[in-house]
C-alpha cells in the first residue's frame, strides 16, 4: 500500500512540476522582456553591421520596453559572435545580427565553424540587404574598374585590397572578380568595415570591397572614389557608380544581408514576440529613413521565411566557396 501511495505521489509530483514549468514558461513569455537584451554583432564599431544594429536597436528598445544593448564581438568574419550566440542561454535575452558570411559562407571555408547555422540557431527575422562597392582613395591613380584590373595584374607592383573579414560578402565579391578577371590582388583580412576603411584612408592598402553603408558617406565626403557596385543594379545613393555587369562582367552579383538570430531552443512564443517587434521596427519611418540614408533596404520576414532563405544562401555560397582557391 505504501509503495502504491509512493508511486502515485511521485507521479503527482512529476505532473505538478511539469505543469509549474509550463506555467512559468508561459508567464515568462507573456512578461518578456523584463531586463535588457544583448544584440551581438560580429564586427567592430563603424562598419555596416554595427550601423544597422544600432539603428534598429533604437526603435526595438522602445517597442519592447527594455534597452537593446549592441555588443561587438569582432573577429573571424563573424564566427566569434555566432559562437557566443550559440552558447548563450536560450531565453531571448541574447540575440544576434548575423550576416551572409557567418551564416552561409564561413561554414564552407577551410576549417569551417564550430556551429551549424541551421541547427544551432533559431531564425527570428530578416534584417537588411545592400550591395558592396569597390572603392579607392580619391587621390588614387586608379580611376576605373579597368584601371583596377590592370593594376591587379601587374606582377611588379602588388595590389592589396581589404574587406570586412574573411568570408565576408566583400571578400567573396573580390574573389569572384579575381576569378572572372584573372587578377592576382592580395586580400587583407580585417575585423570589420571600420578598421579596413581606416587603413584604406591611411593609404596602407589600395582598395576595399566595402559595404555600401560604409562606403557611401566616404564617397559623398570626397575621400573615396567608387569604381563599381556589386549588386544587380546601381545603388540609389550612388547613381553615378556603374555595376560590375555594366563594365563587362555579365551576371556578376554579390550582395550582402543581415538577419536576426537566437540560440537554438529559444521558446517559439519568445521568438514570435521578438519577430513582431523587429518587423515593426523595420517598418518605422524614422528607422527606414536612417537605413535608406545609409544605402540599406529593410527586409523583415517571418522566422520560417528567414530559415528558408538562409538554407538557400548556405547552398548557394557553399558551391561558390568550393570553386575559389584560398
- CATH code: domain of residue 179: 3.40.190.10
Question: What per-residue confidence (pLDDT) applies to 271?
Answer: 98
Residue 46 within any structural domain of the chain: yes
CB 173 within 8 A of CB 243: no
CB 124 within 8 A of CB 261: yes
Rounded CA gap, 54 and 56, in Å? 6
148 in the same domain as 108: no
Sorting pLDDT into bands at 50, 70 and 90, what band is 4?
very low
How many domains does the chain contain in total? 2
Q: Is the pLDDT of residue 134 over 80?
A: yes
Select from 204, 226, 247 the last residue of a domain.
247
219 in the same domain as 155: yes
Q: Is the pLDDT of residue 63 over 60?
A: yes
Most confident option among 103-107, 116-120, 181-185, 249-253: 116-120
Q: Is the pLDDT of residue 26 over 90?
A: no
Q: Is the pLDDT of residue 8 over 70?
A: no
CB 108 within 8 A of CB 318: yes
Angle at CA 176, nearest 5°, toward 170 and 179? 145
Select from 190, 222, 247 the last residue of a domain.
247
Query: What's the whole-number mean pLDDT along residues 122-148?
Result: 96
Three cell numbers written together for 249? 562582367
Q: Is the pLDDT of residue 264 over 50?
A: yes
Question: What per-residue confidence (pLDDT) applies to 38?
Answer: 98
| Closest by Cα among 233, 291, 226, 283 to 258 | 291
Within 10 A of 198 (CB to CB), how many other CB atoms are there?
14
Residue 27 within any structural domain of the chain: no
216 in the same domain as 165: yes
> What number of CA atoms fall less than 13 Å from residue 201's CA on the CB side?
16
CB 300 within 8 A of CB 283: yes
185 in the same domain as 277: no
Query: What's the whole-number mean pLDDT along residues 40-65?
Result: 93
Residue 47 within any structural domain of the chain: yes
Residue 147 within any structural domain of the chain: yes
Q: Is the pLDDT of residue 323 over 80?
A: no
Residue 60 within any structural domain of the chain: yes
Q: Is the pLDDT of residue 316 over 90?
A: no
Question: What per-residue confidence (pLDDT) applies to 325?
Answer: 64
The answer to which of 12-21, 25-34, 91-100 has the lowest mean pLDDT is 12-21
CB 97 within 8 A of CB 52: yes
239 in the same domain as 182: yes
Q: Check residues 116 and 171 and name the one with the higher pLDDT.
A: 116
Rounded CA gap, 306 and 260, in Å? 9
Residue 24 within any structural domain of the chain: no
Question: What per-residue confidence (pLDDT) applies to 279?
Answer: 98
The answer to which of 64-73, 181-190, 257-266 has the lowest mean pLDDT is 181-190
Sorting pLDDT into bands at 50, 70 and 90, what band is 23?
very low
Residue 2 within any structural domain of the chain: no
CB 208 within 8 A of CB 200: yes
| Closest by Cα among 153, 171, 149 to 162 | 171
165 in the same domain as 123: no
Q: Is the pLDDT of residue 158 over 70?
A: yes
Q: Which helix (H) or strand (E) holds 258?
A: strand 256-263
Q: Is the pLDDT of residue 239 over 80?
A: yes
Burial class of residue 29, CB neighbours in 10 A (0-12, 13-18, 19+): middle
Sorting pLDDT into bands at 50, 70 and 90, what band is 326?
low
Q: Check residues 142 and 297 and name the one with the higher pLDDT.
A: 142
Beta bridge partners of 57: none
Enumerate long-range contacts of 238-244, CB under 8 Å, 24 or more apart: 238/133, 238/212, 238/295, 241/133, 242/145, 244/145, 244/177
3-state secondary structure of 235: coil
Query: What's the whole-number mean pLDDT along residues 202-227?
Result: 94
Q: Is the pLDDT of residue 3 over 80?
A: no
Rounded CA gap, 322 and 152, in Å? 23
Residue 277 within any structural domain of the chain: yes
Select from 226, 247, 268 the last residue of a domain.
247
Q: Is the pLDDT of residue 235 over 90?
A: no
124 in the same domain as 261: yes
Residue percentage of the chain with pLDDT more than 70: 91
CATH code where residue 69 lies: 3.40.190.150
Secondary-structure breakdown of the chain: helix, strand, coil percentages, each rounded to the nearest 5: 45, 20, 35
Q: Is the pLDDT of residue 22 over 50?
A: no
Question: What per-residue confidence (pLDDT) applies to 28?
Answer: 63
Let me know how long the chain is.
326
217 in the same domain as 160: yes
Say which DSSP state 148 is in: H
Query: Which domain does 137 fall in, by range?
Result: 132-247
116 in the same domain as 64: yes
Write down the mean pLDDT value for the chain.
89
158 in the same domain as 74: no
70 in the same domain as 147: no
Q: Is the pLDDT of residue 265 over 90?
A: yes
Question: What per-residue confidence (pLDDT) applies to 299?
Answer: 95
All residues at 6 or more sequence positions from 12 whose CB lies less than 8 Å from its CB, including other chains: none
Q: Is the pLDDT of residue 27 over 50?
A: no
211 in the same domain as 195: yes
Amino acid at each position: 500500500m505504501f509503495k502504491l501511495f509512493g508511486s502515485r505521489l511521485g507521479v503527482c509530483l512529476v505532473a505538478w512540476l511539469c505543469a509549474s514549468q509550463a506555467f512559468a514558461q508561459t508567464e515568462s513569455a507573456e512578461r518578456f522582456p523584463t531586463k535588457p537584451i544583448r544584440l551581438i554583432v560580429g564586427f567592430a564599431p563603424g562598419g555596416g553591421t554595427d550601423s544597422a544594429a544600432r539603428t534598429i536597436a533604437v526603435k526595438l528598445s522602445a517597442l519592447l520596453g527594455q534597452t537593446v544593448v549592441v555588443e561587438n564581438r569582432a573577429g573571424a568574419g563573424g564566427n566569434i559572435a555566432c559562437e557566443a550566440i550559440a552558447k548563450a542561454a536560450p531565453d531571448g535575452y541574447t540575440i544576434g545580427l548575423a550576416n551572409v558570411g557567418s551564416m552561409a559562407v564561413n561554414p564552407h571555408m577551410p576549417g569551417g565553424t564550430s556551429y551549424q547555422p541551421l541547427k544551432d540557431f533559431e531564425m527570428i527575422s530578416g534584417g537588411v540587404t545592400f550591395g558592396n562597392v569597390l572603392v579607392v582613395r580619391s587621390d588614387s591613380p586608379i580611376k576605373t574598374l579597368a584601371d583596377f584590373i590592370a593594376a591587379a595584374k601587374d606582377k611588379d607592383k602588388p595590389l592589396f585590397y581589404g574587406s570586412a573579414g574573411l568570408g565576408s560578402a566583400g571578400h567573396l565579391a573580390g574573389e569572384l572578380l579575381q576569378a572572372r578577371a584573372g587578377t592576382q590582388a592580395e586580400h587583407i583580412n580585417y575585423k570589420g568595415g571600420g578598421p579596413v576603411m581606416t587603413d584604406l584612408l591611411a593609404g596602407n592598402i589600395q582598395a576595399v570591397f566595402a559595404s555600401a553603408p560604409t562606403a557611401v558617406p566616404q564617397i559623398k565626403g570626397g575621400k573615396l572614389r567608387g569604381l563599381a557596385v556589386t549588386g544587380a543594379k546601381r545603388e540609389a545613393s550612388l547613381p553615378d557608380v556603374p555595376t560590375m555587369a555594366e563594365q563587362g562582367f555579365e551576371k556578376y552579383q554579390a550582395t550582402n544581408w543581415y538577419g536576426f538570430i537566437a540560440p537554438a531552443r529559444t521558446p517559439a512564443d519568445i521568438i514570435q514576440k521578438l519577430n513582431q517587434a523587429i518587423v515593426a521596427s523595420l517598418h518605422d519611418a524614422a528607422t527606414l529613413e536612417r537605413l535608406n540614408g545609409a544605402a540599406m533596404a529593410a527586409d523583415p520576414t517571418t522566422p520560417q521565411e528567414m530559415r528558408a532563405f538562409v538554407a538557400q544562401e548556405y547552398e548557394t555560397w557553399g558551391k561558390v566557396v568550393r570553386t575559389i582557391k584560398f
